[in-house]
Amino acid sequence: MTDSEDALSLKQKGNQAFKDHDWLNSVHFYTKAIEANDQDPSFYANRAQANIKLEAYGYAIADATKAIELDGSYVKAYWRRAIANTAILNSREALKDFKVVIRKEPSNKDAKLKLAECEKIVKRVEFLRAIEIGDPPSAFEGLDIDSVPVEPSYDGLKLGTEMTSDFIDDMITRFKNGKKLHKKYVYQIVAAVKNIVYEEPTMVEMDVKEGHKLTVCGDTHGQFFDLLEIFRLNGFPSESQYYLFNGDFVDRGSWSTEIALLLYAYKWLRPNAFFLNRGNHETDDMNRVYGFEGECKAKYSERVFKLFSESFSALPLATLIGKKFFTLHGGLFSDDKTTLDDVRKLNRHQQRQPGQQGLMMEMLWTDPQTAPGRGPSKRGVGLQFGPDVTKRFCEKNGLDAVIRSHEVRMEGYEVEHDGRCITVFSAPKYCDSTENRGAYINIGPELKLEYHQFDAVPHPDIKPMAYAQSSLMQMM
């Protein structure tokens, strides 16, 4: 078999893996095909599409760019680069490529639609920047929750001045049946939790007492019924069953308001036994594109989104468990000099959104890599850090390991960097398209990690990204 024939055979294996939703193996086979023949643009374009599925948008942009270098008329490559740039909110670059697609395929109605949507996004971003002010007024300003009436027709349990287990049980039943909470109760829950988490340190420090258990969960991404499966398997939150949700509660999945409200209700009920870290999807830019803003508006109101946004910006960025496990959504830092003390001193209230650089951005966005040192992010945002970086950070700060989330893992979790970097992801069958399991980690007083896997459960027939700002996102 010639190199060319071998490469085509590998491409076909990659195509089959892609059809089977095995994105990692599809990337593997396309990479092997490129190694056998690095002059075929389709190999790069196909790998770009698989990388989009893996949310490795930086890699996807690089692959699509290479395909275009090899064949400047390759429309699919422009299309995929546009989709990847849209995913990392780089809409101006996406706009250029959508225009190329239409120029090369003037009758492509889908491309015209995407171009129009992309133009709307660019205009909105420019408008929001134009009206930006240094200190925006609080979304809670002028909101008199006590005066909001609850109509006699409301058929749910009433909420007083404190959260109760009965109210949460009724809330879960309502959400399972496709019902909403009354807006007054939404206001109460978000306001109460915003006040609680605002007073918590940027890095919460907690221990697991005798007779207690802490469960660390990764991304749940609006997959409400899978969240309930965690509670069914592992036990509902209680005074002895602690939980830590490590960011990305919302976006993508179409029950993000239900997850956010349920997690917030438990935080209000048990503020010292239920913990929440902020993720990169608890940010305005991501919420506007990936569905949470649209979902809030569709199910409640724009004001509810603004209230959530303000509460998200108050969330802690990390949790230190038993002085041994540094738990945060993304990962480690661009500078080896950064320590836990720097995290402790970080005033997250001065900067509501993470921006493009700095400790907050790195804590929300970075990813591990197998190679030593640091490298550019496969996402196109942040950076990647190697096992040597993790080792130095753990040794300097007296840690056993870093626990993080932020990335799909096919088995629900992965232990990397010689056991010092652990990824946990709790959204099985992510976006209804990735054949991954979910996982959570149990930690007792002895600080041993116990990994538990679980599978997705059925949910009502509402597709992921149902509330996304643009059908561009549904192309993912």
Closest CA to 265 of 235, 257, 248: 257
Q: What is the number of other CB atoms lying within 10 angstroms of the CB of residue 152? A: 6
pLDDT at site 131: 64
Residue 334 has pLDDT above 90, yes or no: yes
Provide the domain limits for residue 33: 3-130
The per-residue pLDDT for range 370-387, each reduced to its tens digit, is: 999 999 999 988 999 999
Q: Are residues 427 and 325 in the same domain?
A: yes
Q: Is residue 336 part of a domain?
A: yes
The mean per-residue pLDDT over the stretch 12-16 comes to 97
Residue 258 has pLDDT above 80, yes or no: yes
Q: Is residue 137 part of a domain?
A: no
The DSSP bridge pattern shows strands 383-385 and 401-404 to be unpaired
Q: Is residue 136 part of a domain?
A: no
The mean per-residue pLDDT over the stretch 151-158 comes to 96
Q: How many domains does the chain have?
A: 2
Closest CA to 420 of 387, 453, 451: 387
The mean per-residue pLDDT over the stretch 164-189 comes to 98
Q: Are residues 125 and 159 in the same domain?
A: no
Residue 110 has pLDDT above 60, yes or no: yes
pLDDT at site 118: 84
Q: Are residues 247 and 312 in the same domain?
A: yes
Q: Are residues 303 and 357 in the same domain?
A: yes
Q: Which of 107, 130, 153 is the last residue of a domain?
A: 130
CA distance 93 to 80: 12
Closest CA to 35 of 79, 57, 4, 69: 4
Q: Is residue 138 part of a domain?
A: no
Q: Is residue 199 part of a domain?
A: yes
Q: Which of 130, 164, 191 is the last residue of a domain?
A: 130
Catalytic residue from among 182, 281, 329, 406: 281
Instruction: Specify the higher pLDDT residue, 89 or 244.
Output: 244
The mean per-residue pLDDT over the stretch 274-294 comes to 95
Band of pLDDT at residue 101, cut at 50, 70 and 90? very high
pLDDT at site 122: 80
Is 222 in contact with 248 (CB distance < 8 Å)?
no
Q: Are residues 126 and 149 in the same domain?
A: no
Residue 393 has pLDDT above 60, yes or no: yes
Q: Which of 79, 106, 130 is the last residue of a domain?
A: 130
Q: Are residues 300 and 398 in the same domain?
A: yes
Q: Is residue 139 part of a domain?
A: no
Q: Are residues 361 and 446 in the same domain?
A: yes
Q: Are residues 253 and 330 in the same domain?
A: yes
Residue whose pair of structure tokens reads 């496969």 in the numeric block: 378
Amino acid present at 111: A
CA distance 373 to 390: 9
Mean residue pLDDT of the chain comes to: 94
Q: Would residue 281 show up in a list of annotated catalytic residues for this protein?
A: yes
Instruction: Specify the higher pLDDT residue, 112 or 166.
Output: 166
CATH number of residue 305's parent domain: 3.60.21.10
Q: Are residues 183 and 229 in the same domain?
A: yes
pLDDT at site 470: 58
Q: Are residues 96 and 239 in the same domain?
A: no
Band of pLDDT at residue 22, cut at 50, 70 and 90? very high
Residue whose pair of structure tokens reads 């309930």 in the numeric block: 228
* 384, 387, 416, 453 from 371: Cα distances, Å: 9, 7, 12, 28
pLDDT at site 471: 53
Instruction: Specify the higher pLDDT residue, 129 or 36.
Output: 36
pLDDT at site 374: 98
- Specify the pTM: 0.93
Q: Are residues 12 and 150 in the same domain?
A: no
Q: Are residues 448 and 392 in the same domain?
A: yes
